[in-house]
Amino acid sequence: MNQLLINSGFPWLNLLVGLPLAGALILLVFGKDTISRQLTLIITLVNALCTLPVLHGFDSSNTAFQFAHIYTWIPQLHINYTVGVDGISILLVALTTLVMPLCVLASWTYINKRITAFMVCLLVMESAMIGVFIALDFVLFYIFWEFMLIPMYLLIAIWGGPRKSYASIKFFLYTLAGSVLLLVAIIALYLHNGTFFIPAMMWREYGQLFQLLIFLAFFLAFAIKVPMFPFHTWLPAAHVEAPTAGSVLLASILLKMGTYGFLRFCLPITPDASMLLATPLLWLSIAGIIYGGCTALAQQDMKKLIAYSSVGHMGFVTLGIFVFNLHGLQGAMLQMLNHGITTGALFLCIGMIYERNHSRDLAKATGLGPYMPWFATFFTFFSLSAFAFPGTNSFIGEFLVLAGAFAHKPALALAAVPGALLAAAYMLRLLQKVIWGGVNNPDQSKLSDLGLREILVLAPLLLFVFWIGLGPQPFLDYMNPTLNELLQKLHEWQQGQQGMSLNWIF
């Protein structure tokens, strides 16, 4: 267990989890609506800064879990508080801490009732989200994973749109019902291994049926979170009704947890079952890409449009994961980041429109371009990024995924390509209408352009759009060793298990 962990000095990761939680407690006790915004912004900014030493100190040539810390928690069941990051999780942690201050800024004027409670929810969310990515103990992971539902539920339920009641309860029930069997799977793995330490569960000999059942329990939980095609129905409702910050958190971070789960748990813990079921999963991903694209094309509600486009984008991620080659995995990881940046930014943009004209209706937001030049600029770039225009971040990600899919099975890549086309169609439709519109645009001349605060919210995301788009190597460097090792072990495993996998007709 020790060779998997590098214990290095200051517990930065504990700080990342603990600081927002402590901030939430302070706000809960002393919070006044007048200062809670500022305080939350400071806390989230400090947390973002605290990510820098982690990013800097991370040894990307090493595939071990770094910045790790272990504390005994429940000795009777061998449960420890274990945290650490590797190449897969570190970028997601960084994404989380990057997005949080932007969410606070984006809610600066939009949230005007019960501000303190809102900020407490945001801070608790941050803590739980970071916790999910850094937990190396399965119980700890599960606690963060489930706990997150409460603040997210409240974010939608209290500050949401008109159908918040329905959307919030659907979100909660769907995700929770999906993850109850995950708990059984976790316990079963514990009873098999005698530990809840996640790396100790990987690459073990389990029975074929055992693996299959574990995989299915994992799959249900993660596929709902992603969401993969037939399990996606909670997503549009939740996205549409959530306040802007809630939509951004959902899109940028929460959806990543599903794909993170596939990478972290399904592949290493149940490799046989993953390979056995990869083909149907790949086709489900394709179905998600096409379905998400087609549905997005038909939406009049801008938030719904972006929500359905998320289904498509996340389809690319799962596609990349289950082709089991380096390009696919790299693409999937990058696409997770890209989706977090781009879709988060698009939700922020829609939120800015909503703050001005109080509608998410596409028809009421046409022809904004002449009156909001700053907005038009940002929105154009983010839209280009959303359909993977060369030079933007998503191009690299989608290209890698498609390359991986070609290497795996050309038919698969061919089936995914229409998805990329659809993305261009629905994003250009949105872009065209919002910026230029038609001959009967509503009168938008009263709308003000973006203020400094709003520009500050969008600028960092735009920076990353081009950074990843033009020079993705630093990001790839972080993840490459871990992904390489994962693949290598997967192939070794495959060699050792020749003849056990079934041939599917595809």
Partner 1 sequence: MLILPELVVLGSALLFFAVSLTGKPQPQLLRALALFCGLAVLACACATSRMEGLLFFTSYSISPFSQLFKVLLAGTFIFVLISGQRLTSIAAAVQAEYYLFLFLSVFGLMLLVSANELILLFIALELSSFALYLLVPMRDDSGGLRPQMEAGIKYLLFGVIATGFMLFGMSYLFGLTGTTSLATMFNAVQQGGMPPLALVAFLLVLCGFLFKLAVFPFHFWVPDVYQGAANETVSFIATLPKIAAVALLIRLMQLLPPGQEPFLVLFFAVLALTSMFYGNLCALVQDDIKRLLGFSGIAHAGFILLALLTLKEEGYGLAMYYIGAYVLMNLACFLVLCAIAQKGENLRIADLHGLSKEQPILAFILATGLFGLAGIPPFAGFMGKFLILTEALNRGHLVLVVLAVINTAIAIYYYLLVVRAAYTVDATAKSTETPPPSLLTTAAGITLVIAIIIVGILPAKLIALASDVVQRLG
Residues that bind partner 1 in the complex, under the rule CB under 8 A: 73-77, 114, 117, 139, 142-144, 146-147, 149-150, 153-154, 157-158, 160, 164-165, 168-169, 172-173, 176-177, 180-181, 183-184, 187-188, 190-191
Q: Which is nearer to partner 1, 242 or 413 (CB)?
A: 242
Give yes or no for a contact between 339 and 255, defined as CB atoms under 8 angstroms apart: yes
- Closest contact distance (angstroms) between CB of 498 and partner 1 is 31
Give yes or no for a contact between 203 and 215, defined as CB atoms under 8 angstroms apart: no
- Closest contact distance (angstroms) between CB of 147 and partner 1 is 5
Identity of the amino acid at 484: N
Q: Which is nearer to partner 1, 113 or 446 (CB)?
A: 113
Q: Which is nearer to partner 1, 169 or 455 (CB)?
A: 169
- Closest contact distance (angstroms) between CB of 176 and partner 1 is 5
The token pair that represents 146 in the structure block: 């489930």
Query: In angstroms, how far is the first alpha carbon of the chain from the final one?
Result: 40
The token pair that represents 504 in the structure block: 């599917």
3-state secondary structure of 86: coil
3-state secondary structure of 330: helix
- Closest contact distance (angstroms) between CB of 103 and partner 1 is 21
Q: Which is nearer to partner 1, 141 or 316 (CB)?
A: 141
38-47 burial code (b ≥16 CB/10 A, e <16): ebbbebbeeb
Give yes or no for a contact between 62 and 85, defined as CB atoms under 8 angstroms apart: no
Q: Which is nearer to partner 1, 4 or 183 (CB)?
A: 183
Q: Which is nearer to partner 1, 144 or 354 (CB)?
A: 144
- Closest contact distance (angstroms) between CB of 6 and partner 1 is 27
Q: Which is nearer to partner 1, 148 or 403 (CB)?
A: 148
- Closest contact distance (angstroms) between CB of 295 and partner 1 is 27
- Closest contact distance (angstroms) between CB of 321 and partner 1 is 26
DSSP 263: I
Q: Cα separation of 105 and 331, whole Å?
A: 30
- Closest contact distance (angstroms) between CB of 164 and partner 1 is 6
Q: Which is nearer to partner 1, 155 or 476 (CB)?
A: 155
3-state secondary structure of 205: coil
Give yes or no for a contact between 320 and 282, defined as CB atoms under 8 angstroms apart: no
Among 28, 3, 187, 59, residue whose Cα is nearest residue 477: 59
432-469 burial code (b ≥16 CB/10 A, e <16): ebbbebeeebeebeeeeebeeebeebbebbbebbeebb
Instruction: Write the DSSP string, 375-426.
Output: HHHHHHHHHHHHTT-TTSHHHHHHHHHHHHHHHH-HHHHHHHHHHHHHHHHH
Phi-psi region of 7 (alpha: psi -120 to 50; beta: other; left: phi over 0): beta
- Closest contact distance (angstroms) between CB of 11 and partner 1 is 18
